Amino acid sequence: MLHNLLADLLADIQALVECESPSGDLAAVAHSAAVVERIGTAHLGIAPDRIVLDGRTHLRWRLGARPRILLLGHHDTVWPLGSLAIRPFSVEGGVLRGPGCFDMKAGLAMAIHAAAGLDGVTLLVTGDEELGSPSSRSLIEQEARAAEAALVLEASADGGALKTERKGVSLYDVRITGRAAHAGLEPERGVNATLELAHQALAVAALGASELGTSVTPTVSRAGTTTNTVPAEGSFAVDVRVRTTAEQDRVDTAIRGLRPLLPGAAIEVGGGPNRPPLESSSILFDRIRVVAARLGMPAPTAAAVGGASDGNFTAGVGTPTLDGLGAVGGGAHADDEHVLIEPLTARTALLRALIEDLLTHPIRHLTSTATGTQ
């Protein structure tokens, strides 16, 4: 049986990987959704809701009259069309390779197989996660609010660890306005946007707090037009990663409160929080360890990671969330992207057993019993 499961998983992963789906190409994402729909319908027995938002194609299977567990994944990738010709799908020496295999087409195949034949599950597959989920965020949050638990099939952390904590992300664009002047004839008449930008970039970087896991990083910057002109405008981007909502709020207030140092300069701040943090919660991790022990499997390990996923959104609305349930491997977004074949069947079986356990013993019931509420 496990041999048949592995053969089916590999066939489905190959079909998914060989359908290229760069997030920015709407036609490619729509074609990929059709492939996911075909594979999912074959295993789940029903067709999904096909949801197109801002031109981006998402799929939702509702299995049963009252789904309580949300399985979450995405079928878009960072790889441009033509990547498959350079990095073709392959299976060799126990390793599967191909663009998007680790992030996260193998996890998507695992979710479909784990959900087959179950009643009480929603499988949501989005098509814009790699862009920050601009069109699917409200859909994800809607489904999460209706669920007792969210299980995210993003790839595992190193060594197969589950992701019990993800940092929240905020993205900003700080725009500086100065005043142009001739740099050689009368620079004193100008207001130098480059200098103001430098002052502000240093102030922003100082907002980081490594002891709290908060990084505030000025990234892409630009200023000026010609070498002999005092720059009249400039801008820089800021990437913020935080472990807690309190830190996300603190940094947001500080960045929005930036004030110019040079007389005559002006500052405008765009952007803001993109994903809330997935703050550590033990309830689902404890459950999967119990389930693994019952199956005679090694106890799963946990990891906190800096990268964000759609699991940040499900946790952000208060739904218990466990992430990193997908494939074991490495090289996400890199030339050496790969999946280890040997763990695929066991992790799929563990995922299914966890879903069945959650359907049999609801989290909300256990929580209310422990707290004495109804």
Give the pLDDT band of residue 3 (cuts 50, 70, 90).
low
Distance CA 195, CA 181 (A): 14
The stretch 63-86 carries a mean pLDDT of 97
Claim to verify: residue 193 and residue 319 sit in the same structural domain: no
Q: Contact 168/273 with Cβ under 8 angstroms?
A: yes
Domain-ending residue, one of 275, 308, 340: 275
Separation CA 65–CA 126 (nearest Å):
22
Q: According to the model, what pLDDT value does residue 368 have?
A: 37
Q: Are 10 and 136 found together in one domain?
A: yes
What is the distance between the alpha carbons of residues 5 and 247, in angstroms, rounded to a whole number?
44
- Whether 292 has a pLDDT exceeding 80, the answer reads yes
Q: Check whether residue 13 and residue 142 sit in a common domain.
A: yes
* Number of domains forming the structure of the chain: 2
Of the residues 256, 275, 294, which one is the last residue of a structural domain? 275
- Cβ neighbours for 253, distance < 8 A, ≥ 6 positions apart: none
What letter represents residue 310's amino acid? D
Q: How far is CA 125 from CA 40, 111, 121, 162, 350, in A?
A: 10, 10, 13, 20, 20
245 and 319 co-located in one domain: no
Question: Residue 129 catalytic?
Answer: yes
Final residue belonging to a domain, choices 258, 275, 292: 275
* Model confidence, pTM: 0.88
Q: What is the DSSP letter of 76?
A: -
98 and 237 co-located in one domain: no
Q: Are strands 168-177 and 266-275 parallel, antiparallel or unpaired?
A: antiparallel
Q: What angle is formed at CA 39 by the lines to CA 288 and CA 114, rounded to 5 degrees? A: 15
* Percent of the chain predicted with pLDDT > 70: 96
Are 237 and 284 within one domain? no
CA distance to 94, 99, 177, per residue, from 172 (Å): 42, 30, 16
**CATH no. for residue 302?**
3.40.630.10
**What residues contact 169, with CB distance under 8 A and at least 6 apart?**
239, 240, 241, 273, 274, 275, 308, 312
Residue 280: predicted pLDDT: 78
Measuring CA to CA, which residue among 344, 341, 339 is closest to residue 98?
Answer: 339
- Please tell me which residue in 8, 20, 129, 143 is annotated as part of the active site: 129
Residues 227 and 335 in one domain: no
The pLDDT of residue 373 is 30
41: DSSP letter: H
Count of residues in the chain:
374
Q: 190 and 146: one domain?
A: no
* pLDDT tens-place string over residues 164-220: 999 999 999 999 999 999 999 999 999 999 999 999 999 999 999 999 999 999 999
Domain match, 286 and 300 both: yes
Catalytic residue among 20, 37, 76, 310: 76
For the segment 70-99, the average pLDDT, to the nearest whole number, is: 97
Tell me which residue range forms the domain holding 158: 2-166+278-371
185 and 136 assigned to the same domain: no
Structure tokens at 82: 């033509």
Q: With H, G, I as helix, E, B as strand and everything else as coil, classify residue 183.
A: coil
Least confident of 131-135, 180-184, 222-226, 368-372: 368-372
256 and 201 both lie in a single domain: yes
